[in-house]
Amino acid sequence: MKIETLKKKKLSLTNDGRLELFFIGAGSAFTKRQYQTNLLIIKGKDHVLIDCGTKCPQALSELGVPVTDISNFLITHSHADHIGGLEEVCLMGRYVTKKKPLMIVNETYQYILWDMSLRGGCAYNEEEARDMLSFSDFWTIKRPIWLPDYPRETFKVDIGEINIKMMRTKHIPDSSSDWQSSFWSCGVIIDDRIMFTSDTRYDHDLVEFYETRFDFEAIFHDCQFFTGGVHAGIEELKQFSPEIKKKMYLTHYGDNWEDFEDKVKEYGFAGLTQQQVFYVFD
Ligand SMILES: [Zn+2]
Ligand SMILES: [Zn+2]
């Protein structure tokens, strides 16, 4: 894996076929110094945006990419730093570009995303619509396939050349003891090479199981600099083996990251994830 900076003014949604990860942001939900943690995957002519938070359409626009140019979306859970930009995608798609982007979503999460979040801003816009608008009026739905031979719920989907596995995580509430009793959230595995946990509490089994199975080249893991609440604390993440920490990039971290850079090094992590650079996997 190598890190390359963005050389052109405009971010391209295609490349020569190599796998690129581009974090639109790497910061926390409430960051004021970065953008939130949303990830764009690019490979050949294919791309997928993992999460579209409140700051995402603005960040993309500054990179020369209107959010309406994004064709494929996958959402890991319903916090606003992951879905806050979606209403813009829905309304711009229906009323301006007249396109329905693709949403990778299973039935369970489609209900949560639509009925608990997007519906309030999207369903009632057309007086003449006999029925209120529904999820499929805004999105082309792509169902991921459930993989039965995993100890925790795991799905797979192919978007062109990009293979994604989605595995359930333990994010909210802070008291849940396992992924089964947590509200719906997931992380992703890209081409069986890279794991991105998205938001999760410290969950040793999550990393241990998939790492043993896939021997990842890099793991991008949720991190906060204190312990408690619904994210993984750096002191908890310290418990992973040196081999795992060596390939673990911390993300979703707070605006006071300079105070912790020495600790990140001392504990043996690969580093803090940088926003808006290319992580390139040849
Ligand atoms: Zn978040
Ligand atoms: Zn969250």
Report which of 252, 194, 189 is spatially closest to residue 223, judged by C-alpha positions. Answer: 252
Both tokens assigned to 87: 């209403």
- Sign of the C-alpha dihedral computed for residues 95, 96, 100 and 105 taken in this order: negative
pLDDT of residue 253: 98
CA distances 188 to 108, 178, 194, 272, Å, are 17, 18, 8, 19
Task: Kindly report the average pLDDT of the chain as a whole number.
Answer: 97
- % the chain with pLDDT above 90: 97
pLDDT in tens, 147-203: 999 999 999 999 999 999 999 999 999 999 999 999 999 999 999 999 999 999 999
pLDDT of residue 102: 98
- % the chain with pLDDT above 70: 99
Contact (Cβ atoms closer than 8 angstroms) between residue 27 and residue 252? yes
The residues placing their C-beta within 5 Å of ligand 2, an ion, are: 79, 199
pLDDT of residue 127: 79
Please pick, among 124, 126, 261, 266, the residue that the annotation labels catalytic.
Answer: 124
pLDDT in tens, 32-58: 999 999 999 999 999 999 999 999 999
Report which of 46, 34, 60, 39 is spatially closest to residue 189, judged by C-alpha positions. Answer: 39
What span, in angstroms and rounded, lies between the C-alpha atoms of 75 and 154?
A: 15
Please pick, among 87, 153, 210, 249, the residue that the annotation labels catalytic.
Answer: 87
Q: Indicate if the pLDDT at residue 16 is higher than 80.
A: yes
In the chain the domains, ranked by start, together with CATH numbers, are 2-281 (3.60.15.10)
Distance 14 CA to ligand 1 centre (A): 26
Q: Indicate if the pLDDT at residue 78 is higher than 90.
A: yes
pLDDT of residue 142: 98
Beta strand spans in the chain (E): 2-5, 19-25, 38-43, 46-50, 72-74, 102-104, 140-142, 145-146, 154-159, 162-168, 186-190, 194-196, 218-222, 248-251, 271-272, 277-281
pLDDT of residue 131: 76
When pLDDT is cut at 50, 70 and 90, the band that residue 14 belongs to is very high
How does strand 140-142 pair with strand 162-168? unpaired
Ligand that lies nearest to the alpha carbon of residue 230, given by its number in the listed order: 2
Distance 175 CA to ligand 1 centre (A): 17
pLDDT of residue 129: 67
Counting every residue written for the chain, the total comes to: 282
Ligand that lies nearest to the alpha carbon of residue 169, given by its number in the listed order: 2
pLDDT of residue 9: 85
Distance 45 CA to ligand 1 centre (A): 28
124 is catalytic: yes
What span, in angstroms and rounded, lies between the C-alpha atoms of 222 and 172?
A: 13
Distance 33 CA to ligand 1 centre (A): 15
Both tokens assigned to 148: 């039965």
pLDDT in tens, 216-262: 999 999 999 999 999 999 999 999 999 999 999 999 999 999 999 99
Distance 37 CA to ligand 1 centre (A): 7
Distance 197 CA to ligand 1 centre (A): 11
Both tokens assigned to 130: 């006999």
The arithmetic mean of pLDDT across residues 82-89, rounded, is 98
Ligand that lies nearest to the alpha carbon of residue 30, given by its number in the listed order: 1
261 is catalytic: no
Distance 8 CA to ligand 2 centre (A): 32
pLDDT in tens, 131-152: 799 999 999 999 999 999 999 9
